[in-house]
Amino acid sequence: MSNAVVDKNVPRHGSSLQQPRLPGWAPYALIVVSLALGAGLGTALGMGNPFQMGLFAALVFIIASYALGAVVEGGRQARNRLATSLVWVCFLLAVVPLLSLIWETVDRGRTVLDGYFLAHSMEGVQTILPGGGAYHAVIGTLEQVGLAALIAVPIGLLTAIYLVEYGRGRLAKAVTFFVDVMTGIPSIVAGLFILSFWIIILGFSYSGFAGAMALAILMMPIVVRSTEEMLKLVPDELREASLALGVPKWRTILKVVLPTAIGGITTGVMLAVARIAGESAPIVLLVFGATGINNNPFEGAQSSLPYYIYEQWQLGNEASFNRAWAAALVLIAFVMILNLVARGIARWKAPKSGR
Amino acid sequence: MAKRIDVSGLTAYYGSHKAIEDISMTVEPRSVTAFIGPSGCGKSTFLRTLNRMHEVTSGGRVEGKVMLDDENLYGSGVDPVSVRRTVGMVFQRPNPFPTMSIFENVAAGLKLNGSYKKSELEGVVEKSLKGANLWNEVKDRLNKPGAGLSGGQQQRLCIARAIAVEPDVLLMDEPCSALDPISTLAIEDLIGELKERFTIVIVTHNMQQAARVSDRTAFFNLAGVGQPGKLIEIDETERIFSNPSVQATEDYISGRFG
């Protein structure tokens, strides 16, 4: 009975379970062919730059895999090939800008990036001449980001713990709402807020600390959100297991819930740090920028890497462009190292399941 | 050590939903009492009211009295934390702490409560693991993560963790439902040994298991979906399975349910 129904829908090729398949090397051959066709088409239409050629090739690849699949293998396999090729093309489209950005930055940044660049400031350097460095900016970034993390991480962590473990009713809803709103605050607005509150109303002067406060405002919602998600991932069974042993709730959170989630929380905090390390708007407003070394974040103008890049780019000459690229490379490396450290910690602290 | 539990007029809610209504029973010390009944009839909810775990669920609240010997668990000024130290619990799914080793898991109750002497810890861990019939299997890898054990071993680890804090009563919520027959047998044997020292209450869906391990059996039922669960009867296990006094019990046990 059911056999008859199935037989009607499946075209017979000898056996009903066997259907013609494209050979395994077919997609690779197709890639080569579409690249060649893309290049040819681009040249023929007079659009010779590699990006346009690549787009043509991608288009040819998608259409050709669908058509070939439809002819040889039938409808369902063809749609499968269409989806697969779309996923690959989109993946490449996403990766190309990233790789080209890293390539460009490394390529241009390495011309002046050396020990001297990392160990010297711009004090007394003629801006149109080569020389000088970003030491003062690196110090500024480290201090401002460090202070911001010192402010934002404890507040963010405790807020997330409140929301997940204790928060009920209106207060929790209100906190969640305002955290969401804070996530969307543009950095310049955070900077203006600290400017009007700390500098204009309270009368303090420009300092790294003022910038750090603005950065903390930007960082806090990210820490809350990521920590919240990580704490929610901890199964309730573990909390119950601990409570059933007669462990008080606060100790359960401290000794069972947080250690279980610590890997994810660290990753979240590091990502938040990476996000604020690249902020320049609040720094322009609150830290003012300096060419010399100022190790004290609580007094006087400082610089920071994003600000330094902006400043050097503004100067508009060969030497300053080189310095800007080098500083950009330092900033990317800083963020990348942070990410690697976070991954390391996450792996090291992850719940163990090995035997 | 083992204590008698005397429940009278106990009703439990989830928010506005009444989960169990007006339950009264006595659980004898140094014996095994089994709760049976269809899904959703409130066996687990009732079990969780016996060590004040019910109120951990949001919206959970309880009316009525649970006397542990001569102390009311729901009396004013009773700290749920100390109740849970006296009445331990083993859950349906094995839930060892994933960040801790086997040793730390067993020691968790003492360590997290902060009241222990380092020198005593090893002795307690060994004694508890032996009590849970797990010592011989894990004595060479006490520092390996607890999550690396098999399901049955994990459940015995959880039992060891529960008995390490020396409770008076041990509650078990379907402790074998996630386990294979051999691990189940190991745990049933263990229950037989543990009843020498503890008062044991076990929820089970497996009627053969109730017949094998328990001295007394309580049958719970509910009138319909959304209705609160009720205690139908509690009696000697032999009597419940051979000649129950309520027709509904006989129907359920003989499979003529519904």
Check residue A139 and give its pLDDT.
Answer: 92
Domain containing A319 equals: 135-353
Chain B nearest-CA distance from A270, in A, is 22
Among the partner residues A246, A251, A252, nearest to B165 by beta-carbon distance = A246
CB-based burial, A161-190: b 16+ in 10 Å, e otherwise: bebbeebeeeeeeebbeebeebeeeebbeb
The residue of chain A nearest to residue B162, with distances taken between CA atoms, is A245
Q: Residue A122 domain-assigned?
A: no
β-pairing, B229-236 with B216-222? antiparallel
Domain containing B45 equals: 5-254
A352 interface with B at CB cutoff 8 Å: yes
Instruction: Check whether residue A332 and residue A201 sit in a common domain.
Output: yes
B97 interface with A at CB cutoff 8 Å: yes
Instruction: Check whether residue A238 and residue A314 sit in a common domain.
Output: yes
CB contact under 8 A, A241 and B84: no
- C-alpha gyration radius of chain A: 28
CATH number at residue B119: 3.40.50.300
Which residue type sits at B103?
F
Sequence-ordered list of residues with C-beta below 8 angstroms from that of A181, at least 6 positions apart, any chain: none
A-to-B residue pairs, Cβ atoms closer than 8 angstroms? 90
Instruction: Check whether residue A329 and residue A252 sit in a common domain.
Output: yes
Instruction: Check whether residue A66 and residue A203 sit in a common domain.
Output: no
CA dihedral A194, A200, A206, A212 (to 10 degrees): -10
Q: What is the ipTM of this complex?
A: 0.87
B47 interface with A at CB cutoff 8 Å: no
Instruction: Check whether residue A89 and residue A160 sit in a common domain.
Output: no
Q: Which of residues 214-243 of B touch A (CB under 8 A)?
A: none
Q: What percent of chain B has pLDDT over 70?
A: 98
The residue of chain B nearest to residue A354, with distances taken between CA atoms, is B148
Check residue A5 and give its pLDDT.
Answer: 45
Q: What is the mean pLDDT of residues A254-278?
A: 90
CB contact under 8 A, A243 and B53: yes
CB contact under 8 A, B98 and A260: yes
Partners of B27 in the β-ladder: B5
Evaluated on CA atoms A215, A216, A217, A219, the torsion sign reads positive
Look up residue A302 and give its two tokens: 């400082």
> DSSP per residue over B85-125, as a string?
HHEEEE-SS----TTSBHHHHHHHHHHHHT---HHHHHHHH
- DSSP 8-state code for residue A73: T
CB contact under 8 A, A168 and B58: yes
CB contact under 8 A, B148 and A256: no
Q: What is the mean pLDDT of residues B178-184?
A: 82
User: How many separate domains does chain A show?
Assistant: 2
Q: Residue A116 domain-assigned?
A: no
Instruction: Check whether residue A99 and residue A161 sit in a common domain.
Output: no
What 3-state DSSP class applies to A75? helix
What 3-state DSSP class applies to A29? helix
Instruction: Check whether residue A60 and residue A179 sit in a common domain.
Output: no
Which residue type sits at B26?
T
Instruction: Check whether residue A255 and residue A145 sit in a common domain.
Output: yes
What is chain B's percent helix, strand, coil content, to nearest 5?
40, 25, 35
B59 interface with A at CB cutoff 8 Å: no
Among the partner residues B91, B141, B144, nearest to A241 by beta-carbon distance = B91
Minimal CA–CA distance to B51: which of B36, B71, B66?
Answer: B66
| Residue showing tokens 């890898």 | B141
Look up residue A150 and give its two tokens: 């010192």
Instruction: Check whether residue A199 and residue A76 sit in a common domain.
Output: no
Report whether B1 contacts B195 (CB < 8 A). Answer: no
Sequence-ordered list of residues with C-beta below 8 angstroms from that of A282, at least 6 positions apart, any chain: A187, A188, A190, A191, A194, A211, A214, A215, A218
Q: Which of A88-92, A159-163, B113-117 has the lowest mean pLDDT?
A: B113-117
Look up residue A323 and give its two tokens: 């310095």
Chain A nearest-CA distance from B68, in A, is 16
Instruction: Check whether residue A206 and residue A273 sit in a common domain.
Output: yes
Q: What percent of chain A has pLDDT over 90?
A: 40
Chain A nearest-CA distance from B59, in A, is 11
β-pairing, B199-203 with B17-27? unpaired
Check residue A355 and give its pLDDT.
Answer: 44
Among the partner residues A235, A246, A354, nearest to B84 by beta-carbon distance = A246
Chain B nearest-CA distance from A258, in A, is 10
Sequence-ordered list of residues with C-beta below 8 angstroms from that of A17, at least 6 positions apart, any chain: none
Instruction: Check whether residue A162 and residue A103 sit in a common domain.
Output: no
User: How many separate domains does chain B show?
Assistant: 1
Check residue A34 and give its pLDDT.
Answer: 87
Among the partner residues A241, A243, A351, nearest to B147 by beta-carbon distance = A351
> pLDDT tens across A2-39, in order?
444 444 455 555 567 777 888 888 888 888 888 888 88
CA pair distance A341, B8, nearest whole angstrom: 58
Q: Residue A117 domain-assigned?
A: no
Helices (H), chain B: 43-49, 80-86, 102-113, 118-131, 135-138, 151-164, 181-194, 207-213, 237-242, 247-253
Interface test with B, best of A165, A168, A247, A262 (most B CBs within 10 A): A247
Among the partner residues B56, B81, B147, nearest to A353 by beta-carbon distance = B147
Chain B nearest-CA distance from A170, in A, is 15
Q: Residue A144 domain-assigned?
A: yes
> pLDDT tens across B95-141, in order?
899 888 899 899 988 888 776 777 888 888 988 898 888 888 888 88
Q: Which of A39-43, A306-310, B239-243 has the lowest mean pLDDT?
A: A39-43
CA pair distance B69, B71, nearest whole angstrom: 6
Sequence-ordered list of residues with C-beta below 8 angstroms from that of A109, at least 6 positions apart, any chain: A325, A326, A327, A328, A329, A330
CB-based burial, A292-314: b 16+ in 10 Å, e otherwise: ebbeebeebbbbbbbbbbbbbee
Check residue B224 and give its pLDDT.
Answer: 80
Instruction: Check whether residue A214 and residue A95 sit in a common domain.
Output: no
Report whether B180 contacts B96 (CB < 8 A). Answer: no
Mean pLDDT across chain B, nearest whole number?
87
Check residue A353 and give its pLDDT.
Answer: 57
Which residue type sits at A238?
L
CATH number at residue A316: 1.10.3720.10
CB contact under 8 A, B93 and A251: no
Q: Residue A73 domain-assigned?
A: yes
CB contact under 8 A, B81 and A248: yes
